[in-house]
Amino acid sequence: MSILINKNTRLVVQGITGRDGSFHSMKMKAYGTNVVAGVSPGKGGLLIEDTPVFNTVEDAVRETGANTSVIFVPAAFAKDAMMEAADAGVKLIVCITEGIPTIDVVSAYQFIKQKGAQLIGPNCPGLISPEESLVGIMPTQIFKRGGTGVISRSGTLTYEVVYNLSAQGMGQSTAIGVGGDPVVGLYFQELLAMFENDPDTDSIALIGEIGGDAEERAAEYIKAHITKPVAAFIAGKQAPSGKQMGHAGAIISSSGGTAAEKIAAFQAAGIPVANEPSQIPDLLKNRR
């Protein structure tokens, strides 16, 4: 079993005629994802590798029954793309686009919630349920089907942790990159709850980084609500205060957000924290 996406996912690619949209559309189809439609205003009627292109998401949903969207449009148009998908009845929206103004994300996220939909991202690699569906840009060759759920703020660290999990025979139920911007959609607590309720997820790897207090809140939530083994890794131990490190949300403020504070929160909740991503598999095995 998996969370959020599976073999029944019917995907529409917004921005399918662009460079990234067309490239990753083919990669997702090759993996077995059911890519049923693409959207590119003014280019309705085209076929991209046998995938029909529509002018609007509403048209795509009506004609193909698409229930999930992945967005590859430029940052200036991403707010409208997210809102258009939600307004058309799409229930899961995955926004890969980076560089979107935070105020745009706030507006789009509120609209998406009002429509009863869910958002992953923006500025994220998407998600994958191995051997079922890929929605995003993750390197499929490192993933293996299994029972470990993965939640991460960092795309590249997701891949490193997954590589080590797979190498030690620990496949993944679903792996999700939540995105590194200050405001994103589904985050640690919501995804932890989904994995807790997934009967085929037997352990959880959580990858955090400096900035904000999401990891501290996740630690409290795990202590109170999660019964499955959890191991964490926090990136940014050497980051200086006040300097942005990579992601827009990865910045230590005067009021907190340091790696040390996050590690301490997990340890206080009884959650082991890896010094290196390669230690995650052993930490999980020791808690089973």
Cα separation, 22 vs 43, in Å, equals 13
Are the C-beta atoms of 205 and 177 separated by less than 8 Å?
no
Which amino acid belongs to residue 123?
N
Place of tokens 């025979």: 169
Of 247, 249, 259, 269, which is the active-site residue? 247
How many Cα atoms sit within 13 Å of 205 on the Cβ side?
38
Q: Which run of H or of E encompasses 176? A: strand 172-177
Interhelix angle for 102-114 vs 75-87, to 10°? 10
| DSSP per residue, 215-230 | HHHHHHHHHHH--S-E
Question: Who contacts 179 (Cβ-Cβ below 8 Å, separation ≥6)?
Answer: 95, 120, 121, 122, 123, 124, 153, 185
Q: Are strands 133-136 and 126-129 parallel, antiparallel or unpaired?
A: antiparallel
Catalytic residue status for 247: yes
Cα separation, 39 vs 72, in Å, equals 10
- What are the distances in angstroms from CA 256 to CA 132, 243, 268? 39, 13, 17
Active-site residues, by number, are 247
